[in-house]
Structure 1
Amino acid sequence: MIRGLALAMIFINHVPGNRYEVLTSKNFGFSDAAEAFVLLAGVSAALAFGKHFEARRWWAGIAGPWHRAWSLYMVHIVISVTVLGLVAAMLRFGEVPELISRDNFNRFVEDPVGVLIGLPLLLHQFGYVNILPLYVLLMLAAPLLIWAGQRRPGWLLIASITVWAVAGLTWQNLPNYPNRGGWFLNPFSWQLIFVLGILTGLALRGQRRFVPVKRGLIIAAALYASLAFLVKQVPPVDQGFYVVMKTLREAGVPFVLVDFNKGYLQLPRLLHVLSLAYLVSVSPHLRDLSASRLAWPFVVMGRQALPVFAVGTVLSFAARAALHYFDPTLTIVEDVVILGGLLALVALAWVKELSRAALGAPRPPIVIPDPHRPAPEPQRAAQI
């Protein structure tokens, strides 16, 4: 359910300026749906492929994530070419140059050969089409991370935090081409949240929690999430918080600890998504909510995450084109493109589910232990 909700918010946020953005998580704290997406990707990888390493089926444990990485790579190339064609068509036939003048599409006009070199190498990424390259690299590293997480979870976590800290302190990143600079979502930084997801998933496979339920942790997570909410929603609190952070930076505290850069997943953003994840994980109502009819659209979207994300990305650019082409002051246009897009994604996921069932390949449930009960209930699956 949570992954489906994250995908819905990603679609909405990829159409910047629409009035439905106020309902997405980025308005209630420092992180947004992208962090949740990557965290859940790590959980899913551990749940799906950890069994192979437990049974010492080494090649299956390696081939599974790498096959997934190849699928992600192919989808990324198809999405990139499709949206490039869409924004080019709006320039040629719709007389809407705004789309191709931003989000790194203008580089194709200036240096098409360089872009054609960088695109298949994952070195050139268009705006709003840059999460799958990160996901590809993380899945390539997943076999090693899962193997290490099963044997030395503490050492893996220390190594991951070290890489995150070094990247944030020294501004290390993978290169762009033909642009200068690095990736928008720095893999050296974002690997930490993926590793935390893997360690969580491995713990769930063992019917336990990676982070135990502690009253002090619940209070700390709730306080931090509340502070982030107030900073986003109450201007005086925002101003005061900005002054505090600025003072800390001027005092020499490293940016990675007191800034909000998304690309380097700096500490305020990281703590926010982890606080939210912890609060959700200890909620006694998650299972019942996931099983409710109201949650069904998000559950089915989460089960078909890759096709939903791919089509949603293309639809988001089509929605942006529509909002530029038609009168943007007409709220009916926003309603049609946003709500219509979400309905299309739910329909896509539903059709994919029906196709899977017709082919005789039902999706096995993922059973997650309930921390509020002494023993897990295998017949009830928490769909996240």
Structure 2
Amino acid sequence: MTNARDPRIDFFRGLALIFIFWDHIPDNPFAQLTVRNFGFSDAAEIFVFLAGYAAVLAYGRVADRDGMLVACTRILRRVWVLYVVHIFVLTLLMGIVFVANNHVETRDMIQVMGLDYFVRNPQQALADQLLLRFKPNLTDPLPLYIMLLLALPLILPWLLRRPQLVIGLSVALYMMVPLFGWNLSAYEGGVWYFNPVAWQLLFVLGGVCAVRSQRPVDRVLRPLIRQPLFMTAAIYVALAGVVTLSWKWPELHEAIMPTWLKDALYPISKTDLAPLRLLHFLALAYCTAKLLPSGLAWLNSWPAQQACRMGRYSLEIFCLGVLLAPMADMANALGGDTWPIQASTALLGLGLMMLMAAGLEWNKRLGQSARVVVV
């Protein structure tokens, strides 16, 4: 695999992190601008797909350079780091929520964040936390990523050589969800909010795209408007956008959606990555890739550079966003949940995420400069 890195990957990872942060602040006005308002999928699909893309791109290069054993060892080491980070962030999150709940009178922060199970049964909750069975609100994506990355050493050799076979097996595993209801168990008889048996398909598809991006492609393409696949994807994205927007006006939704169609479409499960969500994301990703090819000048703009920087440090920025969301909710409650307060906390949180990404970038460059001096 080559060393070329598509800057769009970092940009959209950073954008997904912003959307995830805004979506997790209750009644945040900026949450009306995120991708979930314009289609069936949301930032979670972007995050998982690009996680698969970035992981296969990075560890595929290691496998080519140092061998598959070294690549798998580094994957497992990364899994351990993610596990430790998850436990640490969850501990900090619980501390923040418990402190916030002592100061907020308008709502129960413990219940909102899904920590009432810990209050009722702390010993079992701690055990379930270590087993990734207890995942309060906001913390679900990281355990999912841990499980997907843990399975990567099993599929990476085949993914690099026989991606069609891996896709076939991944689709077959995905079908086990609607056919047999497969999922991992969680606390108190529940299941994982992000079903790894279903979401692994999106992770695998991201990895396959990473493999294909490193291979020569035919540059002679027909005009964009004449591509049947693009037109089909664009129409589906547009129709999904109309349906999703109509949810904000129930009377309009009833008018444009006959009963038989609603019975066929709903529920659109996020837990099991319903086919409508999966197809919407794939169509959206395809249209975006065609309309925004790499190398455009917009990627050099200041906002795009900030998003790219956050995307390069996605783990750290995601964890910060998880901790900032309940703090923003607390500040909103203490400020009376007014629109100016809600907008200010959302923008302040975004500023802190950008500041942290800039600090991490500066620290990385400082380390590189120090190594050069030592040499």
TM-score above 0.5 = yes
Could you tell me which residue of structure 1 aligns to residue 235 of structure 2?
Answer: 223
- Residues 151-202 of structure 1 show CA distances to partners (whole Å, capped at 9, x for unaligned) of 221111111011111112322110112x222000000000000000000011
Could you tell me the TM-score, scaled by structure 2's length? 0.88
8 A Cα contact 1:11 1:313, kept in partner: yes
More deviation, 148-157/191-200? 148-157
Q: Which of 147, 153, 159 does residue 149 from structure 1 map onto?
A: 159
Does residue 42 of the first structure (1) align with residue 52 of the second (2)?
A: yes
Could you tell me which residue of structure 2 aligns to residue 261 of structure 1?
Answer: 269
The separation in 1 between residues aligned to 2:35 and 2:323, in whole angstroms, is 22
The separation in 1 between residues aligned to 2:179 and 2:252, in whole angstroms, is 28
More deviation, 26-35/81-90? 81-90
* Aligned structure 1 segments of 4 or more residues deviating by more than 4 angstroms: 93-97
Could you tell me which residue of structure 1 aligns to residue 295 of structure 2?
Answer: 287
Question: Superposed, which structure 2 residues align to 1:285-324 within 5 Å?
Answer: 285-288=293-296, 289-324=298-333
- Residues 62-98 of structure 1 show CA distances to partners (whole Å, capped at 9, x for unaligned) of 0122122112111211111111111111233545651
8 A Cα contact 1:90 1:96, kept in partner: no
| Cα offset, 1:286, TM superposition | 4.3
The separation in 1 between residues aligned to 2:18 and 2:369, in whole angstroms, is 26
The separation in 1 between residues aligned to 2:102 and 2:245, in whole angstroms, is 41
More helix by share: 2
Q: Which of 89, 92, 95 does residue 82 from structure 1 map onto?
A: 92
Could you tell me which residue of structure 1 aligns to residue 259 of structure 2?
Answer: 243
What SS does the aligned partner of 2:295 have?
Answer: helix
Could you tell me the TM-score, scaled by structure 1's length? 0.86
Could you tell me which residue of structure 1 aligns to residue 213 of structure 2?
Answer: 204
Identify unmatched segments of 5+ residues in structure 1. Answer: 250-257, 363-384
Letter in 2 for 1:314: L
More deviation, 238-247/43-52? 238-247
| Cα offset, 1:247, TM superposition | 3.9
| Cα offset, 1:233, TM superposition | 1.6
8 A Cα contact 2:63 2:69, kept in partner: no
Instruction: Give the percent of matched residue pairs that are identical in Structure 1 and Structure 2.
Output: 31
The separation in 2 between residues aligned to 1:168 and 1:102, in whole angstroms, is 30
Could you tell me which residue of structure 1 aligns to residue 14 of structure 2?
Answer: 4
| Cα offset, 1:285, TM superposition | 4.5
Does residue 352 of the first structure (1) align with residue 360 of the second (2)?
A: yes
Q: Which of 62, 71, 74 does residue 81 from structure 2 map onto?
A: 71
What SS does the aligned partner of 1:31 have?
Answer: coil
Q: Which of 82, 101, 110 does residue 100 from structure 1 map onto?
A: 110
- Residues 306-342 of structure 1 show CA distances to partners (whole Å, capped at 9, x for unaligned) of 11111111001111111122211x2221122100000
| Cα offset, 1:141, TM superposition | 1.0
Could you tell me which residue of structure 2 aligns to residue 252 of structure 1?
Answer: none
The separation in 1 between residues aligned to 2:172 and 2:334, in whole angstroms, is 48
The separation in 1 between residues aligned to 2:115 and 2:59, in whole angstroms, is 37
8 A Cα contact 1:46 1:201, kept in partner: yes
Letter in 1 for 2:167: L
Could you tell me which residue of structure 1 aligns to residue 279 of structure 2?
Answer: 271
| Cα offset, 1:125, TM superposition | 0.5
8 A Cα contact 2:68 2:157, kept in partner: no
Could you tell me which residue of structure 2 aligns to residue 112 of structure 1?
Answer: 122
| Cα offset, 1:361, TM superposition | 7.4
| Cα offset, 1:206, TM superposition | 2.4
Letter in 1 for 2:259: V
What SS does the aligned partner of 1:287 have?
Answer: coil
- The RMSD of aligned alpha carbons is 2.1
The separation in 2 between residues aligned to 1:301 and 1:242, in whole angstroms, is 43
What SS does the aligned partner of 2:44 have?
Answer: helix
8 A Cα contact 2:183 2:195, kept in partner: yes
| Cα offset, 1:208, TM superposition | 4.1
| Cα offset, 1:137, TM superposition | 0.7
The separation in 1 between residues aligned to 2:323 and 2:127, in whole angstroms, is 22
CA 1:245–1:287: 2 relative to 1, 3 Å: farther
8 A Cα contact 1:225 1:276, kept in partner: yes
The separation in 2 between residues aligned to 1:318 and 1:151, in whole angstroms, is 46
